[in-house]
Chain A
Amino acid sequence: MAKRIGMEVSIAASEAVKLADVDLIAAYPITPQTHIVEHLSEVVADGELDAAFVPVESEHSAMSCCIGSSAAGARTFTATSSQGLALMHEILFIAPAMRLPIVMVVANRALSGPISIWNDHSDIMAEQDIAWIQTFAENGQEVFDLVLHAFRVAEDSKVLLPVIVNLDGFTLSHVIEPIEILDKAEVDKYLPPYKPKVRLDPRKPVSMGLVGIPEIYTEAKKATNEALINSKRVVLKAWKEFGDLFGRYYNPVESYKTEGAEVILITMGSISETAMTAIDKMREKGMQVGLVRFRLWKPFPAPEFKKAIAGAQTLAVVDRALSPGGACGPVAEEIKAALYAERGRPKVYNFIAGLGGRDVTVENFEEIVSKAFTYAKKRPKQLYEMIGVREI
Chain B
Amino acid sequence: MIKELENFKGFSAKKLPLADPLASGHRACQGCGEVLALKLAMKAIGMNSIVVSATGCMEIITSTFPQTAWNVPWLHVAFENAAAVASGTEAALKVLMRKGKIPQKHIDIVAIGGDGATADIGLQSLSGAMERGHDFVYICLDNEAYMNTGVQRSSSTPYGAMTTTSPPGKKSFGQATKKKNVPAIAVAHNIPYVATASPAYFLDLMNKAKKAALVKGPAYLHIYSSCPTGWRHGGDLAIEISKLAVETNVFPLYEVIEGKYIINRKITKPKPVAEYLKKQGRFRHLTDDLIAQIQRQVDEEYDKLLKLAGETA
Contact = CB atoms under 8 A, between A and B. Distances in A.
B88 interface: yes
Interface in B93-117: 93-96, 98-99, 101-102, 107
A86 interface: no
Given A57-B131, A68-B92, A216 B66 contact: yes
A70 B86 CA distance: 11
A71 interface: yes
A61 B128 contact: yes
A60 B81 contact: yes
Nearest to B80: A60
A169 interface: no
Interface string A284-320: 0000000000000000000000000000000000000
A216 B75 contact: no
Interface in A21-73: 23-24, 26, 50-52, 54-58, 60-61, 64-73
B159 interface: no
A64 B77 contact: yes
B152 interface: no
Report which residue of B47, B59, B101 has the largest number of chain A beta carbons within 10 angstroms of its beta carbon.
Answer: B101
Contacts of B87: 54, 56, 61, 64-65, 68
Contacts of B84: 56, 60-61, 64-65, 68
A207 B74 CA distance: 5
Interface in A206-261: 206-213, 216
B68 interface: yes
Given A61-B87, A90-B78, A202-B47, A72 B63 contact: no
B96 A74 contact: yes
B202 to A, nearest CB: 24
A57 B124 CA distance: 8
Interface stretch (B3-11, B48-56, B294-302): B48-56
B76 interface: yes
B127 interface: yes
Contacts of B102: 73, 201
B80 to A, nearest CB: 8
Contacts of A208: 73-76
A58 B92 CA distance: 18
Report which residue of B49, B70, B75, B131 has the largest number of chain A beta carbons within 10 angstroms of its beta carbon.
Answer: B75
Which of the four size classes fits the interface of chain A?
35 or more
A212 B59 CA distance: 12
Nearest to A60: B81
B272 to A, nearest CB: 42
B103 to A, nearest CB: 9
B63 A73 contact: no
A24 B95 contact: yes
Contacts of A23: 92, 95-96, 99, 101
A216 B65 CA distance: 8
A382 to B, nearest CB: 41
A57 B128 contact: yes
25 contacts: A23-B96, A50-B95, A57-B124, A57-B125, A58-B124, A58-B125, A61-B84, A61-B128, A64-B88, A65-B88, A67-B77, A67-B88, A68-B77, A68-B92, A69-B91, A69-B92, A70-B92, A73-B92, A200-B75, A205-B71, A205-B73, A206-B74, A207-B70, A207-B74, A209-B76
Contact of A201 (B73, B85, B88, B91): B73
B89 interface: yes
A67 B85 contact: yes
Given A57-B127, A210-B65, A211-B64, A52 B73 contact: no
Contacts of A51: 95
Interface in A175-194: 193
A91 interface: yes
A119 interface: no
A68 B86 contact: yes
A202 B88 contact: no
B60 interface: yes
Given A71-B75, A210-B65, A54 B132 contact: yes
Contacts of B65: 210-213, 216
Contacts of B127: 57
A200 B125 contact: no
Contacts of A126: none
Given A26-B88, A64-B85, A202 B49 contact: yes
A91 B85 CA distance: 11
Contacts of A81: none
B237 interface: no
Given A67-B85, A202-B50, A206-B74, 14 more contacts: A52-B94, A54-B87, A57-B124, A58-B124, A58-B128, A69-B92, A71-B89, A74-B96, A200-B73, A202-B47, A205-B71, A207-B70, A213-B64, A213-B65
Contacts of A69: 88-89, 91-92
B72 A91 contact: no
A76 B91 CA distance: 11
Contacts of B60: 211
A94 interface: yes
B72 A202 contact: yes
Contact of A61 (B72, B89, B125): B125
A210 B76 contact: yes
Contact of B91 (A24, A50, A64, A204): A24
Contacts of A202: 47-50, 72-73, 107
Contacts of B73: 200-202, 204-208
Contacts of A68: 52, 75, 77, 84-90, 92
Nearest to A215: B65
A50 B128 contact: no
A209 B77 contact: yes
The 7 residue pairs across chains A and B that have the minimum distance between CB atoms: A68-B88, A57-B128, A65-B88, A61-B84, A64-B84, A74-B92, A209-B76
B170 to A, nearest CB: 38
Nearest to A22: B95
A67 B125 CA distance: 14
A65 B75 contact: no
Contact of B98 (A50, A67, A73): A50
